[in-house]
Amino acid sequence: MKKIMAANWKMYKTGPEAAATVGELAKLLGGRAPDGREIVVFAPATALERTAEAIKAVAGAEAGAENMYPAEEGAFTGEISPLMIKACGARWVLTGHSERRHILGESDAFVGQKTAFALAQGLRVMLCVGETLEEREAGGLQEVLERQLREGLKEIPADTAPENLAVAYEPVWAIGTGKTAGPEDILEAHSLCRSLLGALLGEKAAQTAILYGGSVKPANAGSILALDNVDGVLVGGASLKAESFLQIINAH
Ligand code: PGA
């Protein structure tokens, strides 16, 4: 399985800024993702079309949306649909990012509806899961991952191809805080995710990418990517500059 090197730009970058960063990255990469790696850039909705257009200059890279509403169209003011995402030229969508769960109040069930609908519409989905500090300290890691994965994948189409689904384990306490989970924490959580996916997806679990996210930087990406069951990284802050994201993309 190729490792997935994903950028999450959150609420940063206008369309022209996004296109400029992708253009710079394309030059630095020489027009292609490194062997054995694929690149995804999750961009704000207003920059999605420009990002998707610019990313065509990198073989093995795709653009994604950070959010969507689970309907083709309708009276959902402020939302965007999978059809709109695809029309922008993007292939991916993030679901269940902790900022949407904890700041925007998205429930496990709603995250599950989005995940299922996006897959049914032919998008590739990266479902984010992860525990808060309180949940971790109360010994709730397994229970949280079990619930978020079970609810998140509840209604996905039976014929979902494993390459269209990825899971990102992002401990909430490590996102944007500079605190990276230690190797033991990552190994434990990723192996838990793999076995929980096995129970939910059967043999497809082995081919479903599990990414780590939370304060990934050029200095720690190589050692994180070397851990068992880590099939990529989802990078926020350190993906905003092309040079820094490039170092992570090439990290070993
Ligand atoms: P961070 O964000 O790399 O800035 O911690 C990761 C994420 O939220 O996906």
Residue 176 pLDDT grade (very low, low, confident, very high; cuts 50, 70, 90): confident
Mean pLDDT of 172-189: 91
Q: What is the model's pLDDT at position 249?
A: 98
Beta strands in the chain (DSSP E): 3-8, 37-43, 61-65, 92-95, 124-129, 165-169, 209-213, 232-235
For ligand 1, whether the C-beta of 214 sits within 6 Å is: yes
Q: What is the model's pLDDT at position 245?
A: 98
Asked if 73 contacts 81 with a C-beta cutoff of 8 angstroms, the reply is yes
Percent above pLDDT 90 for the chain? 97
Mean pLDDT of 163-192: 93
Distance 216 CA to ligand 1 centre (A): 7
User: CA-CA distance, 91 to 200, in Å (whole number)?
Assistant: 24
Distance 206 CA to ligand 1 centre (A): 25
User: CA-CA distance, 34 to 41, in Å (whole number)?
Assistant: 15
For ligand 1, whether the C-beta of 180 sits within 6 Å is: no
- For the chain, the average pLDDT equals 97
User: CA-CA distance, 58 to 27, in Å (whole number)?
Assistant: 9
* Residue 54, pLDDT above cutoff 90: yes
* Domain membership of residue 7 as a residue range: 3-249
* Amino acid present at 2: K
Smallest CA separation from ligand 1 atom 2, residue: 236
Distance 74 CA to ligand 1 centre (A): 31
Looking up residue 236, the CATH number of its domain turns out to be: 3.20.20.70
CA distances from 99 to 129, 145, 228 (A): 11, 16, 27
Q: Could you read off the pLDDT of 89-142 as tens digits, one per residue?
A: 999 999 999 999 999 999 999 999 999 999 999 999 999 999 999 999 999 999
Q: Please tell me which residue in 38, 49, 66, 97 is annotated as part of the active site.
A: 97
For ligand 1, whether the C-beta of 66 sits within 6 Å is: no
Half-sphere CA count of 151, side-chain side, radius 13 A: 16
Percent above pLDDT 70 for the chain? 100
Residues contacting 114, CB < 8 A, separation 6+: 68, 69, 70, 93, 95, 96
Mutation probe of ligand 1 site: the residue of 216, 240, 248 with most atoms within 8 A of C-beta:
216
Examine the residue annotation and report whether 97 is marked as an active-site residue of this protein: yes
Examine the residue annotation and report whether 170 is marked as an active-site residue of this protein: yes
Residues contacting 196, CB < 8 A, separation 6+: 145, 146, 149, 150
Structure tokens belonging to residue 6: 């994903």
Q: Could you read off the pLDDT of 21-33 as tens digits, one per residue?
A: 999 999 999 999 9
* Number of domains forming the structure of the chain: 1
